[in-house]
Amino acid sequence: MGQLAGKHALITGGGTGIGAAIAKALSGEGAAVSLAGRRREPLEQAAARLPKAAAIIADVTDPQSCAEMAAQARNAHGPIDIVVANAGAAESSSAGKIKREQWQRMIDVNLSGAFYTAQAALADVTRNDAAGRIVFIASTAGLKGYPYVAAYCAAKHGVVGLMRALAAEFGGKGVTVNAVCPGYTDTPLLEASVANITTKTGRSAEQARAALAKDNESGRLITPEEVAAKVLWLCSPAGVSTNGEAILVTGAP
């Protein structure tokens, strides 16, 4: 039996990239997983590859949708023990050109969505026998600034602050709340950044990826599996004494 046997994990943004890698890692240790997101096809494909998995259509920017998401997850696999708030999006623009709508989109999906996801499952993860885990997928942009992504950085800094607040509120109740902060990671989201760079600068896709990788301490792109390994550790019995931490994943030796 795996170290997460009998546990139920809800993972947003679970159809591709980091979310799909997290689902695979937790499932591999015996957890039942509920994969949530907006796009049905990748969710169902990811769920079909795992032994105990459900695909749930949800919009994390809508608190009612998040409440329904949690209810569907319970119907599929019972009470939720682990919440991984992974859904996110990034858009770039010079700070002086950010429109109100773009600013709000970044706050809604990256910060408000993380809160609504955690809030929807709080009653589950804080129940007496849950040994609950809440993990936010933040970013190195939640710990330092990057040019041309002011709204994204503000939202991810907010996620780290949210994590610390919930860790302080629930840490004495057998629940751990942490954030994993990856650097640039080789995912479909990164490909959107690569396309934006090539369009604006004329660089090749290879040059754009190299420029992004250079910002990671290792000088290479992080893999989704590296991020998933940190999440798995936090959700395992070994992570029980870690609470309120923002854990970097930058590929540093």
Contact indicator for 13, 88 with CB cutoff of 8 Å: yes
d(CA 246, CA 133): 14
224-235 and 17-28 are packed helices; what angle lies between their axes, rounded to 10 degrees?
Answer: 40
State the CB neighbour count (10 A cutoff) for residue 188.
Answer: 11
Which residue stretches of 9-62 are H helix? 17-28, 40-48
> What residue type is assigned to position 100 of the chain?
R
Tokens 């769920």 belong to which residue? 47
Q: How do strand 32-37 and strand 53-57 relate by DSSP bridges?
A: parallel
Is 152 annotated in the active site?
yes
Task: Judge residue 145's burial from the number of C-beta atoms within 10 Å of its C-beta, 0-12 exposed, 13-18 middle, 19 or more buried.
Answer: exposed
Count of residues in the chain? 253
Active-site residue, selected from the candidate residues 146, 148, 152, 184: 152
Distance of CA 197 to the CA centre of its chain: 24
Phi, psi of 181 (to 5 degrees): -120, 85
C-alpha span between 124 and 29 (Å, rounded): 20
Half-sphere exposure of 54 (CA within 13 A, CB side): 19
Instruction: Give catalytic residue positions.
Output: 152
